[in-house]
């Protein structure tokens, strides 16, 4: 079936708009500042996300930006126990591990992860091989040529969207050639990664070109710097901008939405789907009595 995405025991159709909740086992996350670093806090955050409508949870152990060095052993320590606990508590939930390291991915999948969320554009080529061996899904992203945990400096592209399309489709095709399931692959333009604010805005405007590749499209927009700079707002005041970008992205063909605030994201996506005609209203009393 064209456009079907299979992750773990779940199958998502072309019209499904899916929330991927962010749960960071890090003390220095740019958004929550370590609120889910403790193991019990992380599990409570997963419980809350599921209650609010998340169908995927993305568990990460390393801050994306520069900061304290986190080696492989520490990343495994932060994430793998949590993945095992989440799998035990939520057998049907899709679990994603946010990592670029193959060694971490091996342990995460063994503990119950279904998806390898590589936000660093294949920095470790062996990561796709882990997906192929284990049957896990894989996110193929665009980091603008940056190595992990570096920020862009004077980022420049002749055509940023063309560069994104070329990179992510190339990674997806390589993954298939290695044996990764085609119906487990997503592409991600990776807003802000290796890009300036104007680049991220242009990518959002032209998301239809990425959706048009046929690969299921994931967007990670939540409270990012391009939203903060566009509106001149600090991290804690970017929800409205995030939701506006989310609605536009859904309308243009994105299917999975990585989010800190699950409930408002779920409601926005339900409204977009209702306007698009792919989801009926929950109530239809007005004008009928």
Q: Tell me the pLDDT band of 289, cut-offs 50, 70 and 90.
A: confident
For residue 241, the model assigns a pLDDT of 98
- Catalytic-residue membership of 258: yes
What is the band of 30 on the pLDDT scale with cuts at 50, 70, 90?
confident
Instruction: Give the model confidence (pLDDT) of 225-268 as tens digits.
Output: 999 999 999 999 999 999 999 999 999 999 999 999 999 999 99
For residues 102-131, average pLDDT:
98
Contact 47, 85 (CB under 8 A): no
Q: Report the C-alpha gap between 208 and 173 in whole angstroms.
A: 20
pLDDT band at 166 (very low <50, low <70, confident <90, very high): very high
Residue environment code for 208-235, b if the CB has 16+ CB neighbours within 10 A, otherwise e: ebbbeeebbbbbbbbbbbbbbbbeeeee
Selected catalytic residue, list 25, 101, 224, 255 = 224
Q: What is the per-residue pLDDT for 141?
A: 98
Question: For the residues 177-185, what does the mean pLDDT come to?
Answer: 98
Determine the average pLDDT of the residues in 18-32: 93
Please report how many Cα atoms fall inside a 13 Å half-sphere around the Cα of residue 279, on the Cβ side: 18
Band (pLDDT 50/70/90 cuts) for residue 101 is very high
Domain coordinates of the chain in residue numbers? 12-276
pLDDT of residue 266: 98
Spell out the CATH class of 12-276.
alpha beta
Q: At residue 174, does pLDDT exceed 70? A: yes
* Residue 2 confidence (pLDDT): 60
Residue 286 known to be catalytic: no
Q: Which of 25, 195, 255, 258 is catalytic?
A: 258
On the question of pLDDT at 1 being above 80, the answer is no
User: Mind listing the pLDDT tens digit for each residue in 40-83?
Assistant: 999 999 999 999 999 999 999 999 999 899 999 999 999 999 99
3-state secondary structure the chain: CCCCEEECCEEECCCCCEEEEEEECCCCCCCCCCCCCCHHHHHHHHHHHHHHCCCEEEEECCCCCCCCCCCHHHHHHHHHHHHHHHHHHCCCCEEEEECCCHHHHHHHHHHCCCEEECCCCCCCCHHHHHHHHHCCEEEEECCCCCCCCCCCCCCCCCCHHHHHHHHHHHHHHHHHHHCCCHHHEEEECCCCCCCCHHHHHHHHHCHHHHHCCCCCEEEECCCCHHHHHHHCCCHHHCHHHHHHHHHHHHHCCCCEEEECCHHHHHHHHHHHHHHHCCCCCCCCCCCCC
Handedness of CA 31, 35, 38, 39 (dihedral sign): negative
């Amino acid at each position: 079936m064209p456009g079907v995405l299979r992750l773990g025991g779940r199958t998502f159709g072309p019209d499904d708009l899916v929330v991927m909740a962010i749960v960071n086992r890090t003390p220095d996350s740019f958004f929550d500042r370590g609120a889910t670093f403790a193991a019990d806090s992380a599990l409570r955050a997963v419980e809350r996300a599921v209650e609010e409508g998340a169908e995927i949870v993305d568990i990460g152990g390393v801050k994306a930006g520069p900061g304290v060095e986190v080696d492989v052993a520490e990343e495994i320590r932060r994430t793998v126990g949590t993945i095992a606990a989440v799998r035990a508590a939520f057998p049907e939930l899709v679990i994603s591990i946010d990592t670029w390291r193959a060694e971490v991915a091996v342990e995460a999948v063994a503990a119950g992860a279904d998806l390898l969320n590589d936000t660093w554009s294949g920095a470790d080529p062996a990561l796709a091989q882990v997906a192929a061996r284990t049957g896990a899904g894989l996110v193929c992203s665009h980091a603008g040529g940056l190595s992990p945990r570096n920020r862009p400096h004077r980022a420049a592209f002749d055509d940023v969207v063309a560069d994104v399309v070329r990179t992510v489709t190339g990674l997806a095709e390589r993954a298939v050639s290695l044996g990764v399931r085609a119906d487990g692959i997503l592409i991600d333009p990776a807003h802000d990664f290796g890009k300036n604010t104007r680049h991220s805005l242009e990518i959002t405007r032209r998301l239809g070109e990425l959706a048009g590749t046929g690969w299921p499209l994931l967007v990670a927009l939540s409270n990012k710097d391009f939203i903060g700079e566009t509106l001149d707002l600090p991290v804690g005041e970017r929800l409205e901008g995030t939701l506006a970008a989310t609605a536009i992205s859904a309308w243009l063909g994105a299917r999975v939405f990585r989010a800190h605030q699950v409930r408002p994201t779920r409601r926005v996506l339900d409204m977009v789907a209702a306007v698009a005609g792919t989801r009926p209203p929950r109530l239809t009393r007005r004008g009928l009595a």
